[in-house]
Amino acid sequence: MKPHAHKQPGMLLLAAMLALASTTTRAAPRDELLAGYAAAAKTADPAFAGFSAARGDAFHRQSFAGGKADTPACTSCHAKDPRTSGRTPAGKAIDPVALSASPGRYADPAKVEKWFKRNCKDVLGRQCTAQEKGDWLSFMISQ
């Protein structure tokens, strides 16, 4: 019995450390993504003072004239309420963009960049700035 009693706290500690490690690795990609956008925003504008979820919210609903006529806003395909599903012009459902409603989102930086690249071009007719990406992402993570 003695060795077992000795062993258990060690195992518990190990399990706790593993759990902690896995939560930190899961949170990391989103933090890294935001940190990358923040660095780029700072380079573009030395007065950059952090991202704003409120600005991201406004950006999400704003209509632009530079992109494709049938997709003037993020909300042309994504729902106005980011916690509900959207729909593509081809009729396919899009999972909610709010992190609380789609917990798996924004964990793959390459995928995030791929969709910013495509969707910004379609909606704004240009690439989004690091500030716009960071604001939008901050809003979705807060939702």
Partner 1 sequence: MTLPYRPIALGLLAIAFSALVFQRAQAGGSHYYPPVSDPVVKEECGSCHLAFPPSMLPASSWKRMMGELTNHFGDDASVDPATAKHITNYLLSNAGDSGGRRESDKLLRGTSPSKAPLRITELARWVKEHREVPAWEWQHKEVRSKANCLACHAGAERGDYDD
Nearest CB to partner 1, comparing residues 7 and 111: 111
Is 135:129 a contact under the CB 8 Å cutoff? no
Work out whether 104 is an interface residue with partner 1 (CB under 8 A): no
Distances (CA, A) of 78 to 15, 73, 85, 114: 40, 9, 7, 16
Q: Is 50 in the site for partner 1 (CB under 8 A)?
A: no
Report the distance separating Cα 81 and Cα 104, nearest Å.
Answer: 18
**Total number of residues that touch partner 1 (CB under 8 A):** 9
Told to check if 122 binds partner 1 by CB under 8 A, we report yes
Q: Are 122 and 71 in contact, with CB atoms under 8 Å apart?
A: yes
* Among 29, 38, 121, 142, contact with partner 1 (rule: CB under 8 A): 121
Helical ranges in 45-129 per DSSP H = 53-61, 109-124
Residue 53 contacts residue 140 (beta carbons within 8 Å): no
Give the footprint of partner 1 on residues 62-101 (CB under 8 A): 68, 88-92
Q: Does 127 bind partner 1 (CB under 8 A)?
A: no
Minimum CB distance to partner 1 smaller for 89 or for 103: 89
Minimum CB distance to partner 1, residue 42 (Å): 29
Residues forming contacts to partner 1 in the complex (CB under 8 A) are 68, 88-92, 118, 121-122
